[in-house]
Amino acid sequence: MEDRRNTVILAAEKALIELEKVIRQNIDLVELDPEKAKTAAQAKWVAIEDSLKIIDKIEELSGKQNESKKNKTFLGVENRIK
Protein backbone atom coordinates (compact mmCIF):
# COMPACT_ATOMS: atom_id res chain seq x y z
CA MET A 1 0.00 0.00 0.00
CA GLU A 2 2.87 2.36 0.80
CA ASP A 3 4.36 1.75 -2.65
CA ARG A 4 1.08 2.70 -4.31
CA ARG A 5 0.90 5.85 -2.18
CA ASN A 6 4.40 6.85 -3.29
CA THR A 7 3.47 6.20 -6.92
CA VAL A 8 0.43 8.47 -6.58
CA ILE A 9 2.53 11.18 -4.93
CA LEU A 10 5.09 11.02 -7.75
CA ALA A 11 2.32 11.25 -10.36
CA ALA A 12 0.86 14.26 -8.54
CA GLU A 13 4.25 15.97 -8.54
CA LYS A 14 4.54 15.40 -12.30
CA ALA A 15 1.07 16.90 -12.73
CA LEU A 16 2.25 19.94 -10.77
CA ILE A 17 5.12 20.40 -13.21
CA GLU A 18 2.70 20.40 -16.15
CA LEU A 19 0.33 22.81 -14.40
CA GLU A 20 3.26 25.11 -13.67
CA LYS A 21 3.98 25.25 -17.40
CA VAL A 22 0.40 26.44 -18.01
CA ILE A 23 0.70 29.02 -15.23
CA ARG A 24 3.97 30.43 -16.60
CA GLN A 25 2.77 30.82 -20.19
CA ASN A 26 2.35 34.43 -21.24
CA ILE A 27 -1.00 35.63 -22.52
CA ASP A 28 -0.24 37.85 -25.51
CA LEU A 29 -3.09 40.35 -25.63
CA VAL A 30 -1.86 41.69 -28.97
CA GLU A 31 -2.17 38.36 -30.79
CA LEU A 32 -5.27 37.00 -29.05
CA ASP A 33 -8.78 38.27 -29.45
CA PRO A 34 -10.51 39.17 -26.15
CA GLU A 35 -12.49 35.92 -25.93
CA LYS A 36 -9.38 33.75 -26.34
CA ALA A 37 -7.48 35.90 -23.84
CA LYS A 38 -10.32 35.43 -21.37
CA THR A 39 -10.23 31.66 -21.92
CA ALA A 40 -6.46 31.62 -21.40
CA ALA A 41 -6.79 33.60 -18.17
CA GLN A 42 -9.47 31.21 -16.92
CA ALA A 43 -7.22 28.25 -17.74
CA LYS A 44 -4.43 29.83 -15.71
CA TRP A 45 -6.77 30.37 -12.77
CA VAL A 46 -7.94 26.74 -12.88
CA ALA A 47 -4.32 25.57 -13.07
CA ILE A 48 -3.43 27.65 -10.00
CA GLU A 49 -6.40 26.30 -8.02
CA ASP A 50 -5.65 22.73 -9.06
CA SER A 51 -1.98 23.15 -8.14
CA LEU A 52 -2.85 24.35 -4.65
CA LYS A 53 -5.25 21.44 -4.14
CA ILE A 54 -2.63 18.95 -5.33
CA ILE A 55 0.00 20.48 -3.03
CA ASP A 56 -2.36 20.20 -0.05
CA LYS A 57 -3.14 16.59 -0.89
CA ILE A 58 0.55 15.70 -1.33
CA GLU A 59 1.31 17.25 2.06
CA GLU A 60 -1.60 15.37 3.60
CA LEU A 61 -0.48 12.03 2.13
CA SER A 62 3.14 12.68 3.04
CA GLY A 63 2.24 13.62 6.59
CA LYS A 64 3.83 17.04 6.14
CA GLN A 65 0.74 19.17 6.44
CA ASN A 66 1.34 22.35 8.38
CA GLU A 67 -0.17 22.67 11.81
CA SER A 68 -1.71 25.96 10.72
CA LYS A 69 -3.72 24.15 8.04
CA LYS A 70 -5.57 22.03 10.60
CA ASN A 71 -9.08 23.04 11.49
CA LYS A 72 -9.26 25.60 14.25
CA THR A 73 -12.53 26.27 15.97
CA PHE A 74 -13.32 29.87 16.78
CA LEU A 75 -14.24 29.92 20.45
CA GLY A 76 -15.15 33.59 20.70
CA VAL A 77 -13.62 36.48 22.58
CA GLU A 78 -15.83 36.59 25.65
CA ASN A 79 -13.31 34.92 27.94
CA ARG A 80 -10.32 36.89 26.69
CA ILE A 81 -11.41 40.25 28.10
CA LYS A 82 -11.06 40.57 31.88
pLDDT digits (tens, 9 = 90+) for 19-62: 999 999 999 989 999 999 999 999 999 999 999 999 998 888 88
Task: Give a yes or no: residue 26 inside a domain.
Answer: yes
Task: Give a yes or no: residue 77 inside a domain.
Answer: no
Alpha-carbon distance 16 to 62, whole Å?
16
* C-beta separation of 15 from 37 below 8 A: no
pTM comes to: 0.65
Range of the domain at 58: 2-63
What's the number of domains the chain is made of? 1
Read off the pLDDT band of 69 (50, 70, 90). low
